[in-house]
Amino acid sequence: MLEVKDLVVRYSGLPVLQGVSISVQEGQTISVVGSNGAGKSTLLKAIMGAARVTGGSISFQGRDITRLRTELIVRQGLIYVPEDRKIFKPLSVEENLLLGAYSINDEAEKKRNLDYVYSLFPRLAERRSQIAGSMSGGEQQMLAIGRGLMSNPKLLMLDEPSLGLAPLMVAEVFDTVRKLRKEGRTVLLVEQNVREALELSDYAYVLQTGRIRHEGDSKELLNSDLVRQAFLGM
């Protein structure tokens, strides 16, 4: 579904991604793990056309999207939930969700998607009229994920969904990813929480200083000495 080949991204002339290659198959949950500053978020931004690519290529469902505008990438069915959530704080929960379905013209489909999001996040249903900016960080993260799901994404990319959340909310967010995986949705998950990401995904890439250093079956990576020593303190 998604093929990134030899991707190069530079900021002010300095390399941030240096020949990164990853692939995502339909129905998979793929994780990209690594420490802060490894280039994980830059990878997702490059895929979405929000970071300038200076080398390599990105294809989605067989179509080259390397230099496609972000709005056109979204219309292909590729949705990005950024680490800082980017919710519309003065608007209500439901207004935020409906903005996630701006590309859908069928009102019945919008209603079905809204019902689905509310079933996935009952707390959002309870607070549909609440101003989004007045909610907790964890609730805003649920809203950001829900808004991403409103457009029926073919591939959902989640950037550090657990960042800055209380442990209870972290557990809820990861439980949501687990549900999406069980439903057969295609998810690309970027996370600093290496253990959780590897436990949730089918296949994983370890990104360090802008390069893919290791990749493989998530369970095998979780049990590898290198990952356990480098990221799990074991």
Give average pLDDT by consecutive 10-residue segment, the chain, 234 residues. Answer: 97 93 98 91 96 96 96 94 92 96 92 96 96 94 96 96 91 94 96 91 94 93 81 62
Amino acid at 215: E
Q: Looking at the domain assignment, is residue 108 inside a domain? A: no
User: Based on the structure, what is the number of domains in the chain?
Assistant: 1
Q: Looking at the domain assignment, is residue 126 inside a domain? A: no
Q: Looking at the domain assignment, is residue 102 inside a domain? A: no
Q: Looking at the domain assignment, is residue 223 inside a domain? A: yes
Amino acid at 203: Y
* C-alpha atoms less than 13 angstroms from C-alpha of 153 in its C-beta half-sphere: 25
Print the domain residue range for 44: 1-77+192-234
Q: For residue 12, what is the domain's CATH number?
A: 3.40.50.300
Q: For helices 167-182 and 137-149, what crossing angle results, to 10°?
A: 20
pLDDT for res 233? 62
Q: Are 21 and 212 in contact (CB under 8 A)?
A: yes
Q: Looking at the domain assignment, is residue 31 inside a domain? A: yes
Q: Looking at the domain assignment, is residue 211 inside a domain? A: yes
Q: Looking at the domain assignment, is residue 21 inside a domain? A: yes
Q: Looking at the domain assignment, is residue 185 inside a domain? A: no
